[in-house]
Structure 1
C-alpha cells in the first residue's frame, strides 16, 4: 500500500443554479472530504490508497462508501456505525468567487472514530501517511487516533505529509491550533497556505516561517499562494512554481488536489520542481468543474494537460 489517510467524508448537496441558496429547490448530490478527495486523486493516477473512516448506518453512508470504493480506494477499514449519521454539507455557489460551505457534521459517525480503529501492523509497509487538520478537530478520540498513527509512522519510517486544511469552525476550540502544532513534530512535508503558515508558525515573514518549521524537524515546507503559485523549501534548495492559468468554476477542493500532486510526485521520485508543478496542475484541473473530484485526471489526462502548459514556469 502506498498511502494511508484518515478522515470524514460527507454528502454534498449543491443547488443546480448559482445564487442565494434560500431560493434553491433543485440540488445536485456529490460526495466530498479532504482525505477521500486526496485518495481518489491518487488512485486515478495509479497509486494504491487506503482510506480509514466511519460512515453512518444510513442510505447516505451506503452510497458514499460504495462510491469511494468504486473509485478504487481501499475501504476495507471503514466502519459502518450506529453512533451517528453520515455527515452532510451544502455548497452554495453565489458566483465563482463567492462559494460558501455549510457543514452539518456535529455528532457524525466519523467524529466517533477511536484509537482502536487501526492496529500498528496496518501501518507497517506504508510509504506515506497523509494527515490534515480536519480529523483532529472532529473529536478528541479522532485526534488521539491521529497521534497514535503518527507515533507508528515515526517508528516505521513512514513519510508524514501534513496539510493543515484549517476550518474556521474548529478555530473556536480553545486548543485546536495547539493540536495541529503538535502534529508538526511528526511532519516530514508541511503544505500550508499562506494564512495557515501564519496561524501555526506565529510569524508573518516567509523565511521566518520556514525556519520555524525546520525547528520542528520538518524536512520540506511548501507554502501555497492561491493567487500566484507555490513556494518550496528544503535544507538544500528552494524555488517558486507559478500556478496554471485556468477558468475557475468551483475553487473548493483545489488544496486537496494539490496535496495529492505532492504525494504522487514524491512516490514517483520526481524533483521538487516537478513535484510542485504536478501539484499545481492537479489543483488547476480541480477548479475547472463543480465538485471536488469531478475533473481530477487520470495519468494520461494529467500528462496531456501539462504538455499543453510546457512553458518554463519555475523560478529559483
Structure 2
C-alpha cells in the first residue's frame, strides 16, 4: 500500500501467533516447528494488498513479542495497521497446528479472554471506515465476545451509512459457538450485507439445505446482492439479486495445505470488485487466489501478486 493512501478495504478481527509442525507426526518433544501468525481477516487484507489495493486491518493484540510479530508482518505486506490496538492487560492468542498424519491436520486454539477477544467499538477508526470502499467482516469475530460482536455491528452500521460495500464471510467456527446461536446472531448481519460468502453448511444456518444454486439464490432474498458459495475442490458459484447465476470450477493444483484457502478466495473476489470487474472476473481471480493458497504451506504466505497470476494459467481449464 502506498503511504498516505486511504484504504480501499478495511477489515477487523482477531490475529494470533501460530506454532506449527513442519512434518507429519504428533506435536511432541523434538518435533521441528515453524513460528508464524494468522487471522482470517488479516489474510484477506494481505491478499487485497498484494493485488494492488490499499487495505487496512484493525484488531487488538497483546503488548508482547507475538503481537509485535503480527504488526510487523502486516506492515511488511503493505497493510495499514494504524488503527490496531495493543492491549497491556491480555496477551496475543495462540494457535497450535499439527499435521498428525500426512492428510489430517489437528488445530488447538488459545484465545478465550485474550487480546483479540477484547476488541470493542471504541477501538474502531470511524474516519477509516467512512472512507473505505469495502468493509469486510467475518462470523469469527462476533463469536469471540460481546464487545467483539458489538464492534462488528458498529463497523457495519458506520460503513453502510457511508455507502461502502459490506462483505461478510460467514466463517462459522463450531468450537466458538453452536449453530443455533450463530444463526441467530449472524442472520442479523445479512440485511446489511452486499456480498456474502459461505460454504453450503454455513449457508444452511440461514436457508434450507438444498442444491448450492438454490441455497445461493435463497441467500440473496435475505438482503445480499451477491451470494458466493465456496465449494472447495468443486469450485464456486455466485447468485445475484437480479436472478443471475455464475458457476466457476476450481483451478486444479496439488494441494499442500488447505488452511486459509477460503480467505484467499475472498481476497481475490474483493480485489476484483475493487478493480470494477464483473462477477465472472471476480470468480476467476478468486479461484486463482484459492489455488495459490492451497499450493503453499501456511495461512497467507502463498497469496499471489498480480505479476504471478499467469503461473497457474495452464491449469485454469475454464479459461
Instruction: Please say if 1:2 is aligned against 2:8.
Output: yes
User: Does the 8 A contact of 2:75 with 2:81 survive in 1?
Assistant: yes
TM-score by length of 2: 0.93
- The runs of 5 or more residues in structure 1 that have no matched partner are none
User: How many angstroms does 1:306 deviate by?
Assistant: 4.4
1:141-171 Cα offsets, whole Å, 9 max, x none, are 0100111111112211110111111112123
In structure 2, which of residues 204, 229, 249 is the aligned counterpart of residue 223 of structure 1?
Answer: 229
Mapped pair 1:53 → 2:53: no
Structure 1 residue 258: Cα displacement: 0.3
Q: CA, structure 1 residues 161+24, in 2 after alignment: closer, same or farther (shift >3 Å)?
A: farther
Q: Tell me which of 157, 165, 169 is aligned to 1:159.
A: 165
When residues 269 and 24 of structure 1 are mapped into structure 2, their CA distance, relative to the original with a 3 A threshold, is farther
2:261 maps to: 254
Matches within 5 A, 1:95-106: 95=101, 97-106=103-112
Q: How has the CA–CA distance of structure 1 residues 266 and 199 changed in structure 2, closer, same or farther, with 3 Å as cutoff?
A: same
Instruction: Map 1:116-265 to 2 at 5 A.
Output: 116-172=122-178, 175-234=181-240, 235-265=242-272
How far has the Cα of 1:50 moved from its partner? 0.8
Return the offset for 1:125: 2.1
* CA distance in structure 2 between the aligned counterparts of 1:158 and 1:83, rounded to whole angstroms: 33
Q: Is the 8 A contact 2:198 2:230 kept in 1?
A: yes
Q: Give the corresponding residue for 2:4.
A: none
TM-score, normalization by structure 1: 0.94
CA contact (8 A) 2:253 2:315 kept: no
The match for 1:287 is: 294
Cα gap change, 1:86 to 1:308, in 2 (>3 Å):
same
> Which residue in 2 is equivalent to 1:89?
95
Contact 2:172–2:182 at 8 Å: present in 1 too?
A: no
CA contact (8 A) 2:15 2:40 kept: yes
1:239 offset after TM fit, Å?
A: 1.9
Question: Aligned pair in 2 of structure 1 residues 174, 84: CA closer, same or farther (>3 Å)?
Answer: farther
Aligned ranges 1:268-283 → 2 under 5 Å:
268-283=275-290
Does the aligned pair in 2 maintain the 1:96–1:249 contact within 8 Å?
no
Task: Work out whether 1:43 is the aligned partner of 2:49.
Answer: yes
Q: Which runs of 5+ in 2 are unaligned?
A: 1-6
Secondary structure class of the residue paired with 2:151: helix
Q: More deviation in 151-160 or 255-264?
A: 151-160
Distance 1:173-1:140 versus aligned 2 partners, 3 A rule: farther
Distance 1:310 1:33, change over 3 A: closer
SS in 1 for 2:177: helix
Instruction: Tell me the alpha carbon deviations over residues 87-144 of structure 1, each in whole angstroms, 9 at most, x when there is no partner.
Output: 1001111345311221111111111111111243331221101110011011110100
Q: Contact conserved, 2:216 with 2:238, CA < 8 A, in 1?
A: no
Q: 1:251 Cα deviation (Å)?
A: 0.4
Aligned residues: 312
